[in-house]
């Protein structure tokens, strides 16, 4: 009986792990705007690591690199909301810039951007009858960036001290705002609030 239950659990766990889907792995309704200002509507799938958008329209499959795209928007069927992305020149090696795809999380004088990738992490599991063990689980890892009104992009580590350094011209106000509202600079929603507050003062 115990062996039977254990087998069922393993099969169910394997099925759930296998069927886990991420936004970058499926097509979504949306449109993109090319650098020539052409607007194309269809089914979109993005790959931020490769900086490529795949578009299916009229039975044809088209591929666009970040060098050819200005903007694209999707209705994410996994997250059930609209998401916006821009192709923005970003320094990759010292003074060398290339167009890179970023998602816009918050837009203002200082905007909050992010990129994502799927990573595999070891997760410890404990079962009542069979003891503990490790398994691998895929999850989304986000990297956040600040974009200023001059077009400069800076990576954000998630640490409070780095945020205060970036917003040094209004550091005391930001520090007080974080403390009063008990905000965590590693949480996306709190980071949006902080960025919006910074833009408002």
Shared domain check, 165 and 89? no
Return d(Cα 61, Cα 35) in angstroms, integer.
19
Average pLDDT in the 4-20 region? 43
C-alpha–C-alpha distance, residues 164 and 161, integer Å: 5
Do the Cβ atoms of 57 and 9 come closer than 8 Å? no
Structure tokens at 181: 């509202």
CA distance 184 to 160: 8
Number of domains in the chain: 2
The answer on pLDDT for 12 being more than 70 is no
Tell me the pLDDT tens digit for each residue of 97-114: 899 999 999 999 999 999
| 28 plus 105 within the same structural domain | yes
Is residue 173 situated within a structural domain?
Answer: yes
Say yes or no: 91 and 31 in one domain: yes
Burial 119-155 (b: 16+ CB within 10 A, else e): eeeeeeeeeeeeeeeeeeeeeeeeebbbbeeeeebee
The pLDDT of residue 194 is: 98
Does one domain contain both 34 and 99? Answer: yes
pLDDT at 9 over 50: no
Report the percentage of the chain scoring pLDDT > 70.
Answer: 84
For the chain, the average pLDDT equals 87
pLDDT value for 24: 94
Q: Are residues 105 and 175 both part of a single domain?
A: no
Q: Residue 189: is it exposed, middle or buried by C-beta count within 10 angstroms (0-12/13-18/19+)?
A: exposed
Phi/psi at 5 (5° precision): -65, -40
Q: Is residue 7 part of a domain?
A: no
User: CA 148, 150, 151: angle at the middle one, nearest 5?
Assistant: 70
Range of 173's domain?
A: 157-201
pLDDT digits (tens, 9 = 90+) for 53-92: 999 999 999 999 999 999 999 999 999 999 999 999 998 7
Lowest mean pLDDT, pick from 51-55, 69-73, 136-140, 190-194: 136-140
Q: Is pLDDT larger for residue 167 or for residue 7?
A: 167
- 140 within a domain of the structure (yes/no): no
Do 30 and 104 share a domain, yes or no?
A: yes
**133: in domain:** no
Confidence of residue 137 (pLDDT cuts 50, 70, 90): confident
Q: 42-66 burial string, b = 16+ CB within 10 Å, else e? A: bebbbebeebbbebeeeeeeeebeb
124 pLDDT band, cuts 50/70/90, is low
Q: Is the pLDDT of residue 141 over 50?
A: yes
pLDDT of residue 131: 54
Let me know whether 27 and 102 are in one domain.
yes
Q: Which residues contact 173 (CB under 8 A, 6 or more apart)?
A: 197, 201
Check which CATH number belongs to the domain holding 73 and give it.
2.30.30
- Is 167 part of any domain? yes
| 104 and 27, same domain (yes or no) | yes
**163, part of any domain:** yes
For residue 131, tell me if it sits in a domain: no
Q: pTM for this structure?
A: 0.82
- The answer to whether residue 141 sits within a structural domain is no
Q: Is the pLDDT higher at 16 or at 20?
A: 20
């Amino acid at each position: 009986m115990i062996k039977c239950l254990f087998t069922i659990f393993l099969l169910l766990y394997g099925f759930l792990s296998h069927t886990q889907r991420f936004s970058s792995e499926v097509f979504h309704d949306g449109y993109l705007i090319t650098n020539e200002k052409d607007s194309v509507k269809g089914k979109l799938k993005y790959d931020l690591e490769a900086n490529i958008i795949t578009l299916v329209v009229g039975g044809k499959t088209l591929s666009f690199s970040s060098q050819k795209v200005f903007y694209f928007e999707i209705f994410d069927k996994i997250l059930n909301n609209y998401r916006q992305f821009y192709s923005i020149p970003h320094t990759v090696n010292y003074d060398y810039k290339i167009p890179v795809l970023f998602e816009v999380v918050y837009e203002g004088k200082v905007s909050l951007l992010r990129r994502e990738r799927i990573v595999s992490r070891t997760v410890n599991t404990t079962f009542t009858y069979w003891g503990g063990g490790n398994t691998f689980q895929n999850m989304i890892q986000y990297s956040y960036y600040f974009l200023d009104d001059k077009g400069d992009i800076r990576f954000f580590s998630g640490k409070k001290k780095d945020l205060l350094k970036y917003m040094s011209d209004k550091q005391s106000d930001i520090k007080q705002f974080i403390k009063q509202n008990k905000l965590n600079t590693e949480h996306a929603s709190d980071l949006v609030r902080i960025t919006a507050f910074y833009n408002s003062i």
